[in-house]
Structure 1
Amino acid sequence: MNYPYIIIDDNQESVLKTKAIADGFSELLFVASANNYADGLNLVLEHTPKIIFLEIDPADKASNLSLALINELYRYLKVVPKIIITTIKKDLAFDAIQYEVADYMIKPVQRIDLVKSLLKLKKSTGEDEVFFTRTADLDNSSKLQEAQTPDSLVSVGVQNSESPLILCVKSYGDYRYIDTRDISYLQADNNSTDIYLNNGEMITAFKTLKHFEGVLPHPFVRIHNSYIVNRNCISRIHTGNAVCYIKNTTVKVPFSKSYKPNVDVIISDFANGNYLEI
């Protein structure tokens, strides 16, 4: 079963981080995001998602985000989506319980927290099937989630948490297995996508870049209409020239203004790691 979701959060960086975690689950389908009460309410009423990730203690008080949004939803909807609170403090947890929210998560959202939340949700709805994440399989079995086309398949190998994610590009009986850690970046080519490996090899898959954006989890980040980059393969980011440099190559992958927030998250992720700035 699929769960379309909307993120309502006044902090765009938090939106992108929550989406990056949610993108690792095959059932979670991103619909849209909003940064304030009014836009969030309109999005929910228009798209009627099954899950809402909601910030209730915004840094920008003008956004008017709060638990009051839940009351407003009950005015219009017979079935209110499952609400997952995402915030940086525990202070409002008791208040949130009074609104019967599905879960309360401390930001930044962790993958294991979302795993638990989805399990509780499936249990409450009586679903028995195993759900798949794009980075791990909860029962440690090895399976393939296949995207069907007449002449080509692009499958994501669902591995246990200690194994790398394997991408299978299949064409006319030819199965090509790619360790996603070996992918430097992907480039759109009309209705196909060129996959560039860190050994210089290029493989073409007959799927759109948007398809790969939907199935590849972190550290893959879309930075341009034509490019997805492996964050771990970036050696340099030049914001003035709007390019990312790929490790051990002379390749410079451009990023566009519309995807600049994604690049800002990459820069932030580097700074939050084992990092020394000089």
Structure 2
Amino acid sequence: MTFQKIKSVIVEDELAAREVLKNYLSKYCPQVEVVGEAQNIKEAVPLLHEIQPQLVFLDVEMPFGNAFDVLEACKDLQFETIFVTAFSEYSLKALNQSAAYYLLKPISIEELIVAVNKVHHQIMNHEIFNRNKIIVENFHESKPEKQQVILPTLEGFEVVKMEEIVRLRGNGNFTDLYLNNGDKKMVCRFLKHFSEILPLPFIRVHKSHIINLNCVKSYNKGGIITLNDGAEIEISPTYKEEFLKNFK
């Protein structure tokens, strides 16, 4: 099969890790052409401006800074990013909120192929979405409720601030997301995905419901939570104690 190759750059401080990734790409991802490498931010920023790649494999933690510093310095460029990271709860939450592609070290060949295929499809179909801008803005925003989350929908992507979300309801393979302006979005993610990435004031109150605590209007001893949008949600006994802790 003949692929239209996409220009890529690897930014990774460990030589062995760069060699492994290049080897995997050569063997399993023929649609990717590695046209440059950098081992730190000081090398990466001018290289990316010079080459202007379509795809960057970007290590999250490096000497002289991190991946977010690279994106900040290259915010005038348009490229897709596949992050490579050792496990970090903070990093993973930040990347998941931005619907970013990432690979955990040591890199899984299967996960690499999936991520590359998705990015290649988007680039070839001109479905470029500037996740990098959202990632950088979230990194600099200290208040979680002011951060933005990218929502994959059937039509593409939408961006909303977390403070605009009133509640989320599981709907099979999708999640219905209700905003404070009355809009409802159907998102292509399980509810579990949001329970893992959304910080307080979001809390799960039922196997099918996550709510924004800042949008709670009232609660009665019968276990019914009323939200600002008028929705009434019955809290599950499993989540009741954790919910009430936030109002003591």
TM-score by length of 1: 0.41
User: What is the TM-score when the length of structure 2 is the normalising length?
Assistant: 0.46
More helix by share: 2
